[in-house]
Structure 1
């Protein structure tokens, strides 16, 4: 049996019915994979007769081992980073392909794959233009961590968090697609709700693109200014001397791109909840862990940034990390908002002046 027997949409999100019965397949997967490598069993049969949630998770563990070996050989710990923008879409494509192979309606999964492909294209492009795929490129935070922890401790950190945990996380945020695959057996056609969720996802991706583009334009101008000592057109010297962007979306959120990124995977989970007519399910674990990761990662990034730029602490006090604190944009230190004088107050002050004369 490769898929659970379900009778209602609610059953599609039931862990005891849709996940737990297939866990033994995970334990037998290494032996079956070895048989496929030796030729005793075809890879297609292995793939088709393994529950897609289990096979997807097994793939994430195999990739974790690959990332681990590559990191130790190269001494570069950004191996997962190079695949971050690709793997969630790969896993959604896996569920889509498995559904087609099993003869399950895949229209709703096609929608997931559509926005996920757009998401991958945007993030991959942004990572590429920042030099992420360059030989030897590594996230600067890993070097800082290596300087503050023993070598053996960092190796444990690589084994547990960098390679395996992050690889499994990238799978878990895409796992709600499994629930949508199951619901497609009962409700195969695309609904207006599916279109609404698709629109939300594309809108969040557009928000990410705008935020990243604003950051790119600012950083490019700052680099040009530092090299030539000339202020590029459209910028003020004070803004570039500050060292970080505070305009556009960044004037209301310190990390608008991160806010949108977390929302994207949270809404995929919500999409699966709506499809299965449940308030919550096990599939929310991936989105929850991603949000926790962003909390810690963003805190560490801001800790470094606040040490580089004196004004950043003022920026932190006035602008929310992810969610805007108000409607106004960042004003900067020492910028006072003009006091609004009411007509009655003005008349009273004029009357007092007349009396004094």
Structure 2
């Protein structure tokens, strides 16, 4: 656990320093898909390569590589590691009156963007720690692994549909042609995006909720302290998606109707 805390503190401090110096506040985004791999493999090595931990580490590695690829093709990474595309939402948040004073944004960057978000990443990987010295690997573990693989596929399809939509829209615009109705809306709204407004976010949350259940399989205890990371991740995505939707609603005339018609994360309304 000490090694995990050292990695966390070093990564959070690095994100704060680099973002403060460069003005690019997406430094945590660059590590979001990479550092969980390090965390889970550290635990796996410390466990002596227990089978359950090795399985969890392989799943997180597959998740991380896929997410890193998607982030990279959107311009998130650069050989100048401190550069790369910044999440457009940070500029919107920074422009709010609450952050008119520079020191307030500095504190927000330190506490929330850097240390809280990096801490959250550590928290949602902690079911690996709780799974150490657990019960023998069983059918539940294989079922959980299959669910995570299926969710990675769903997230991949959702990201690809979004990528294809915006790529084709920009291609038509660059050619000076008339945009078909599908692209005039400006936002992806078909495929998985016609079932829920954020299928990639939904799959991402589900992956880490399922990941938690490895600790249940290892201990036989349905509720343990390592669930906190998954809970906080769901809360983060709720707030993050709300911010995205408020921006999209002001940008796209048809988005308000989309909000009314399509559920946020679950493909049915309660």
- SS state at 1:182 partner: coil
After TM superposition, the runs of 4+ consecutive aligned structure 1 residues lying more than 4 A away are none
Among 29, 39, 42, which residue is 1:91 paired with? 39
Structure 2 alignment gaps of length 5 or more: none
Partner Cα distance (1:200, 1:117) in 2: 15
Q: Is the 8 A contact 2:47 2:133 kept in 1?
A: no
Q: Which residue of 2 aligns with 1:12?
A: none
Query: Structure 1 pair 123/136, CA: closer, same or farther in 2 (3 Å)?
Result: closer
Q: Which residue of 2 aligns with 1:67?
A: 15
1:253 maps onto 2:201 in alignment: no
- SS state at 1:59 partner: helix
Partner Cα distance (1:66, 1:129) in 2: 23
Q: Which residue of 1 aligns with 2:155?
A: 208
1:182 maps onto 2:133 in alignment: yes
Q: Is the 8 A contact 1:119 1:205 kept in 2?
A: yes
Q: Which residue of 2 aligns with 1:221?
A: 168
Q: Which residue of 2 aligns with 1:323?
A: 266
- SS state at 1:212 partner: helix
Please state how far the C-alpha of 1:158 moved relative to its aligned partner.
0.5
Q: Write the deviation string for residues 194-249 of structure 1: whole angstroms up to 9, x where unpaired.
A: 11110000000000000001111001011112211336xxxx70011110111110
Q: Which residue of 2 aligns with 1:191?
A: 138
Q: TM-score, with normalisation over the residues of structure 2?
A: 0.93
Q: Which residue of 1 aligns with 2:240?
A: 297
Partner Cα distance (1:279, 1:67) in 2: 35
Q: Write the deviation string for residues 116-168 of structure 1: whole angstroms up to 9, x where unpaired.
A: 11101110000001111143421111111222222221111001001111111
Please state how far the C-alpha of 1:57 moved relative to its aligned partner.
2.3
Q: Which residue of 1 aligns with 2:57?
A: 113
Q: Write the deviation string for residues 58-95 of structure 1: whole angstroms up to 9, x where unpaired.
A: 32122111111111121211111111111111100110
Structure number with higher relative contact order (C-alpha < 8 Å, ≥ 6 residues apart): 2
Please state how far the C-alpha of 1:292 moved relative to its aligned partner.
0.5
Partner Cα distance (1:58, 1:293) in 2: 24
Q: Is the 8 A contact 1:179 1:272 kept in 2?
A: yes
Q: Write the deviation string for residues 271-314 of structure 1: whole angstroms up to 9, x where unpaired.
A: 21232111211101111111100010100000000100011010
Question: Residues 18-57 of structure 1: matches in 2 within 5 Å?
Answer: 53-57=1-5
Q: Is the 8 A contact 1:57 1:168 kept in 2?
A: no
Q: Is the 8 A contact 2:39 2:125 kept in 1?
A: yes
Please state how far the C-alpha of 1:181 moved relative to its aligned partner.
1.3
Among 299, 306, 309, which residue is 2:252 paired with? 309
Query: Structure 1 pair 253/206, CA: closer, same or farther in 2 (3 Å)?
Result: same
Among 67, 70, 74, which residue is 1:123 paired with? 67
Calculate the aligned-residue CA RMSD, in Å.
1.4
Partner Cα distance (1:280, 1:121) in 2: 30
Q: Which residue of 2 aligns with 1:142?
A: 90
Q: Write the deviation string for residues 306-355 of structure 1: whole angstroms up to 9, x where unpaired.
A: 100011010010100001127xxxxxxxxxxxxxxxxxxxxxxxxxxxxx
Query: Structure 1 pair 255/74, CA: closer, same or farther in 2 (3 Å)?
Result: same
Q: TM-score, with normalisation over the residues of structure 1?
A: 0.71
Structure 1 alignment gaps of length 5 or more: 1-52, 327-357
Q: Which residue of 2 aligns with 1:48?
A: none
